[in-house]
Every structure is written in C-alpha cells, then in structure tokens.
A and B are shown apart, each in its own frame.
Chain A
Amino acid sequence: MNTETVIDVERLNVSYDDFHAVKDLSFTVRRGELYALLGTNGAGKTSTLEVIEGHRASSSGKVTILGEDPRNRKAVRPRMGIMLQDSGFAADLSAMETLTLIGGLTGRQDHPDRVLDVVGLTTKADTRVSALSGGEKRRLDFATAIYGSPELIFLDEPTTGLDVASRDDLWDAVDRLREDGATIVLTTHYLEEAQQRADRIGLMHEGTFRMQGTVSELTQTLPGTITFHLPENAPQLPLESSLAGNGSLLIETHGLQQDLHTLLSWAQETGTELRDLDAGPTRLDDVFRSIARH
C-alpha cells in the first residue's frame, strides 16, 4: 500500500446554527486505499463528505484533497470523481447527453461510449433520464464518477437500488479502477460490502469517530459468539454461558477457536447434542450495533 496521503482531515468541525454535526474529526486516506466512512443516521458522515468533496465549507479545521483545498474545483475536480447520493440529472437529456455534459465539465478526457459500456447502459444511450429506472440512474451516476478514470473517487451509497448482478458489475469496475491505483472513499448502509472491500473503516456516531481501523481491528474489539441449544438434564457446561433471546445458550469469547474446541470436546465426551450450533467471529454489523446503542 502506498503511504502517500490523498485526503487529510484535521480537527474538522461542521455546525448548523446550534447543531454541531461534526466534532473535531481527524483522519487520513492513503493512495490506493478503499476507505469506508460509515455511521449511524445523523452521525455526520454526509456533512463530512460534503466538506471533503468541496460542496460545503467547514466551520473550522483543515481539509486537503490531493494536496489542494477541496473547494479549489479547477485544481481538484479533474482528478476526482463524485457519485452523489441523489442523481441530480436533467430529466430531458438522454443518458449519453448527460454523460457527455457532466463528464466533459469535470475536465477529464474519456470516450462516453466506453464509459456507458462499462456501466452497462449502451442500449440506453439515447433514452432520456426521465425514462431510466432508479438502478439505471445510479449506474449513470457511477458513469459520471468514473469518467476519465480519476485517481480519487467518492462513492456515496453506490449500490442502493441496484440488483445483485448490477452490484457485482459495479464492484468489478471499482476493482479494475483500484488495480490502476485509484483511491476510493465509500459510504454505504450495506455493511457487508464495507466488510468485504474496505481497507480501513471509520465508524461515526454523533459527529465523531467511535472507531477507526481495518475490519479485523474493529471486529476484535467485541467478542466472538457461540450459540446452541442444550437438551434438558445436560451435564454442567465447561464454559461460562448466558441465555440468548431465543432460548439458546450464548458463549462470548475472545478465543473462539480454543473455546469452540473445548465445547465440542465436552459434547463428544459427555455424548451431548449441541442443537443449532452456530459459531463465528464478530461481524461489522455487531460492532455497528454496539456503537449505535451507546
């Protein structure tokens, strides 16, 4: 991984009248990284993203993108693509006209035909935006972001409204851009996408980071779990357990492999059946929920 910093955020604050949306937020994104900015509703990630993208001024703090002030559009925009959460396209223009217009205004060079092909909209090139489906509009939005293969790409809820095949196509395209060295900043409500693809994750709640790191760094903060049902009159368990909501027993552990081995050995020796046995490390969803509850 390249250590060059592409995004540098220092003590960012964003306020709206009396509401402090972002509080002293600091983080960096390195070249070639896929950084996922996640958070609960109202956590401040949209405000953060808008400042980084140059759409909004910060109340205080310093933000640099590719070594420039993000509001210096002429310097920054030709090097970065933005996939907005809402399309913002003119209804009376066709897909091709839209891509040619927006792509051209970014200051990047590309062939609209090629980009439409990448996002699977070649057959819709002459269709007006008003006649495109929600998923097709998202793909057109993605097309404007990747037009000219920028070195930094912001993907704001990129797969919302896409079917599974379209999601796979989109991530394939992102993978190809990453192979060419692109840096990606992602926000999404699909945590499994972040878990699978992000190099690092920033988890926001109430205007600040509650956790930041790689997926394994985040998930190690909570114990793994083993759940199962025991028959009546089963012998004493070798591990401490508690009752889970559905009547099953729950063992929380920071040594999942060892404790699972202990449990299975005990079951084997005592001839006890462990029904509905399920075991696994903490998932990003669990970390997210633990933050949302506090």
Chain B
Amino acid sequence: MLTIARSELRQILRNRMVFFSATVIPVGLSLLFIAQRDAFSQVPTGMGFLAGAFMMILISMGLYSTAVTTLAARRQTLFLKRLRSTAVSDPVALAGILGPPALIGIIQVTAVLSVLAALTEAPAEIPLLIVSGLSLVLMMLGLALATAGVTTSPEHAQVTTLPVTMGTSAVAFWIGFTGTEELGMLKRALPGGAATELTINAWNGGTDLVDNLLLLPPTLGWVVIGVLLAKRFFRWEPRH
C-alpha cells in the first residue's frame, strides 16, 4: 500500500493543476476567513463555527474532490486495471490511491486550525476535535468512492463533486449560523451535519461527552452509505 501511496503522492506533487486545486484553493479560502474572523464573532457558535467550516471546506475540497478526480483519472487511463494486474488486493489498491489525498486533507486541517487557534483561542477538547476530523475524513472517503462510480473522467468530476462539496459546506454554514436548537434531527442527519456540530462543540467546549459521542453514528452512517453506494456503482475500468 505504501508503494502505491508514495507514487500517488509523487504524481499529485508533479501535477500542478491537481496540487493547486487540492491545496492552494482550500487553504487560501480558509486563510481569507481567518483574516475576516472578527466578522464571525457575533455568530452564536463563535469560533467553533469557523473551525467547523474550515474542516468541512478543507476536507470536501482538498480530500473529497481530489479523491474523486484521482480515481476517475486513474480509471480513465486504465491505471486501476494495471494495479489489478498485480498481486495487490482491491482494498489495498484503493487505500494506496486514497491515502495521499487523505493525508493532504489532514495536514491542511491541522495547519489551518493551528493558525486559527494561535490567533484566537485553543480548542477546548482536542481529542474530540481529532475524532470529529477523522470521522469526517472517513465519510468523505466513502462518498468519494461512491461519487467516483458515477464519474467518467477528471473533467466530469468537476460536475459530479459539486452536490457533496456545496451540500456539505451549506450544511456546515447552516449549523454554524443557526445552531441545532431548531430542526436539530434534520441538521444532524444531513451529510456532515453531525460532524460539524461535533467540531463546534469540541472547539468551544462546555458540552456533555455522551451527547457528543452520540453525534458520531450519523457521520459513520454516511460512511456506510458511501461504501454501499460504491459497491453498487464503482467501476475499475471505463464503461465501453
């Protein structure tokens, strides 16, 4: 798996377009929000809102979109078929391909949230923040596999990734601006909703641990949905 992951990382770093869209755009957007952080001080969820929004933007754009684009590109060039002509299993091949985008996403989130913490306040529950981030990474990987199943090319990925990137970002902002006192069940059930609430709680603190852990199942449910959809739709070779 590490052999494939190393070669994937090498390819991402060599392809300026992929590298730019996977790193510069989401990080730039996040830094723009940090520069305007005073404008968000009146939001009920406070700086936790910015943390939740950053995590969603970085993971949806940096990880999810890159993962879908990469899988579509590797399938289109028959690289996935090439990997299947070797001794590696399908899960190992996918883990090798998705590992680098996941790693880049995690590094970006860590870096941006560190800047936010340095300029404002440190997160109250760091372990909970890590759990929230990892659950979101898993969810986006599952959804990436599912989306890649209906994506025919890297260009097509620009269209097929929009519902999830826009949808999850909208959910994050909705929860950030309005909280979960109203329509809480609906907001938590939406993809990324529970993870955003967990991130906000972890950053701001003052919430019950059990209540927070109960926010994990909805996110993990989306992981299961993503994997099931991927099993149904994912293709290793282009359709003819």
On whether the two chains bind one another, the answer is: yes
Contacts A73-B88, A77-B86, A105-B3 given: A55-B81 contact, CB under 8 Å? yes
CA distance A55 to B237 in the complex (A): 10
Q: Is A74 an interface residue (CB 8 A)?
A: yes
Which residues 8-59 of B have a CB within 8 angstroms of A? 10-11, 14-15
Q: Which residue of A lies closest to B84 (CB)?
A: A55
Q: In whole Å, how far is B111's beta carbon from the nearest beta carbon of chain A?
A: 25
- Cβ–Cβ < 8 Å partners of A73 in chain B: 84, 86-89
Interface pair A93/B85, CB less than 8 Å apart:
no
A78 in complex: contacting residue of B81, B85, B87, CB < 8 Å: B87
User: A105 contacts which of B11, B74, B80, B86 (Cβ < 8 Å)?
Assistant: B86
Instruction: Give a binary string over B66-89; 1 marks a CB under 8 Å from any A CB, 0 the rest.
Output: 000000001001111111111111
Closest residue of chain A to B75 (Cβ to Cβ) is A88
CB distance from B237 to the nearest CB of A (A): 8
**Residue of B with least CB distance to A105:** B86
With A86-B78, A106-B87 known as contacts, the answer to whether A92 contacts B4 (CB < 8 A) is: no
Measured between beta carbons, the chain B residues less than 8 angstroms from A266 are none
Distance to closest chain B CB from A43 (angstroms): 16
Q: Are A92 and B79 in contact (CB under 8 A)?
A: no
Tell me whether A97 is interfacial, beta carbon within 8 Å. yes
Q: A86-B78, A97-B10 are in contact. Are A92 and B15 (CB under 8 A)?
A: yes
Q: Which residue of A lies closest to B81 (CB)?
A: A88
Chain B min CB distance to A45 (Å): 15
Chain A residues whose CB sits within 8 angstroms of the CB of B77 once the complex forms = 88-91
B110: Cβ under 8 A from any A Cβ: no
The reply to whether the CB of A102 lies closer than 8 angstroms to some CB of chain B is yes
Collect the chain B residues with CB atoms within 8 Å of residue A90's CB: 7, 11, 74, 77, 79
A53: B residues at CB distance < 8 A: 85
Closest to B78 in A: A88
Contacts of A105 in B (CB 8 A): 3-4, 83, 86-88
Whether the pair A102, B11 counts as a contact (CB closer than 8 A) is no
In the bound assembly, the distance between CA atoms of A74 and B84 in angstroms comes to: 11
Tell me, rounded to whole Å, the shortest Cβ–Cβ distance linking B81 to chain A.
5
Q: Closest approach, in angstroms, between the C-beta of B71 and any C-beta of chain A?
A: 13
Asked if A84 lies at the interface with its beta carbon under 8 angstroms from chain B, I say yes
Nearest A-chain residue to B90, judged by Cβ: A73
Question: Taking the complex as formed, is A104 at the interface, i.e. its CB lies under 8 A from any CB of chain B?
Answer: yes
Q: How large is the interface on B (under 10, 10 to 19, 20 to 34, 35 or more residues)?
A: 20 to 34
Q: A92–B82 contact, CB under 8 A? A: no
A53 CA to B81 CA, complexed, in Å? 11
Chain A residues contacting B15 (CB-CB under 8 Å) are 92
Docked Cα-Cα span, A88 to B75, in Å, equals 9
Docked pose: A54 CA to B3 CA in angstroms: 22
Contact present for A77 and B85 (CB under 8 Å): yes
Which residues of B are found within 8 Å of A93, using beta-carbon distances? 7, 10-11
Shortest distance in angstroms between B98's beta carbon and chain A's nearest beta carbon?
A: 15
Asked if residues A106 and B78 are in contact (CB atoms below 8 Å), the reply is no
CB contacts (< 8 Å) of B79 on chain A: these are: 88-90
Q: With A92-B10, A92-B11, A93-B10 in contact, is A102–B81 under 8 Å at CB? A: no
Docked-complex contact B3 and A101, CB < 8 angstroms? yes
Interface 1/0s, chain A 58-101, versus B by CB < 8 A? 00000000000000011001100010101111111100010001
Question: Do B84 and A106 touch across chains, with their CB atoms under 8 A apart?
Answer: no
Whether A107 and B87, one on each chain, are in contact in the complex, defined by CB atoms closer than 8 angstroms, is yes
The CA of A106 and the CA of B4, in the complex, are separated in Å by 12
Please, how many angstroms separate the alpha-carbon atoms of A84 and B85 in the complex?
9
Q: List residues of A whose CB falls within 8 A of some B CB.
A: 53-55, 73-74, 77-78, 82, 84, 86-93, 97, 101-102, 104-107
Since A55-B81, A92-B10 are in contact, a sample of 16 more A-B pairs with Cβ atoms closer than 8 Å, ordered by chain A residue number, is A78-B87, A84-B82, A87-B78, A87-B82, A88-B81, A89-B77, A90-B7, A92-B11, A93-B10, A102-B82, A102-B86, A105-B4, A105-B86, A105-B87, A106-B86, A107-B86
What are 10 of the A-B contact pairs (CB < 8 Å)? A53-B85, A55-B85, A73-B86, A73-B87, A73-B88, A89-B77, A93-B7, A97-B10, A101-B3, A104-B3
